[in-house]
Amino acid sequence: MNYLRKSLAGLGVLILVTGLLAWFLPARWALPWIEPQLHGLRLQQVQGQLWDGRAGQILNAQGNPVGQIQWQLSRRALLGQVQLQLDFQGPHLTFSGAMQRLPDNQVQWRGVSVHADLASLLPRVALLQGQPLGELQLAVDQAVLQGGWPLQLNARAQWLHAAMRTRSGDVALGNLQWQAQAQGGVIEVQLHDDGDGPLQAEGQLQLSPLGWRLDAKLRARQTDPALRHWLAGLGQPDADGRVHIQRSGGLGGSLPMPVANQDKQRP
């Protein structure tokens, strides 16, 4: 009986010490478990606790610094209730947002803000007859993801000082805006310009795990030969100089646009 009491007391002390260690765990002690999940990124100048810490420098797989990060992780994670606030600051990208893990392997993001320099971040590939330039500002009020795909989404974005770098030079597009919503895994994106730039744009993009479809109309507001040449590379302009772009891919790309949204696309 005395041996049992000593064993239980020792077990209680072990549980207490383990709990205190987890409660006040220094962030640098957790690096061996964290870094394998970062796909080649390495954290340096790590300070604070696992629950409230920062990394003064993040290195990519090539060993180049990409920025710094701060985080706050709720201690409810010990009970399986993961709640995380992230703030990343880099020379070409800033990100902040709050994440919460939901049942059924779903993840919810709230209050997400992203600012990105497209020229520095996008790979050097030709998209829409050129390399995108400018600044992307993205705000996500709420997004529920499963397997990385948005089941629910409420977001808006601005492409500021938009331009395309082509072999003939840079083509200015002005400022473009998007609004995106998703329900049931189907994403609806509305595109338009700010009403005062060189490019008049309106369109709709639909995405789902089965495919995608783009229906957009673009027209030059000015007699910019570079812009008109770029538009002609996307399609044959009509009598008003408007290029109607229709692209699709996957099984879902063959589905028709909703009638209500088709009406919105009519000039």
d(CA 179, CA 154): 8
The predicted pLDDT at position 40 comes to: 86
β-pair partners for 147: none
103-127 in b/e burial notation, b at 16+ Cβ within 10 A?
A: eeeebbbeebebbbbbeeeeeeeee
Neighbours of 44 (CB within 10 A): 13
More confident residue, 253 or 84: 84
* Across 33-62, average pLDDT: 88
User: What DSSP assignment string belongs to 28-69?
Assistant: GGGHHHHGGGSTT-EEEEEEEBSSEEEEEEEE-TTS-EEEEE
The predicted pLDDT at position 20 comes to: 40
233-248 tens-digit pLDDT: 899 999 888 999 999 9
The predicted pLDDT at position 142 comes to: 96
d(CA 115, CA 67): 13
d(CA 258, CA 263): 9
The predicted pLDDT at position 117 comes to: 95
d(CA 201, CA 204): 10
* Across 69-75, average pLDDT: 92
- Say what the pTM is: 0.81
Amino acid (1-letter code) at residue 37: Q
The predicted pLDDT at position 13 comes to: 39
The pLDDT mean for the chain works out to: 84
d(CA 235, CA 111): 38
The predicted pLDDT at position 78 comes to: 77
Tell me: pLDDT of 264 over 60.
no
> Worst-scoring range by mean pLDDT, 50-54, 83-87, 94-98, 155-159?
50-54
The predicted pLDDT at position 3 comes to: 44
Residue in 177, 174, 133 with CA at minimum distance from that of residue 158: 177
100-146 tens-digit pLDDT: 999 989 999 999 999 999 988 877 665 557 899 999 999 999 999 99
More confident residue, 124 or 93: 93
Judge whether 114 and 72 are in contact, CB under 8 Å. no
CA 75, 77, 83, 88: dihedral to nearest 10 degrees? 80
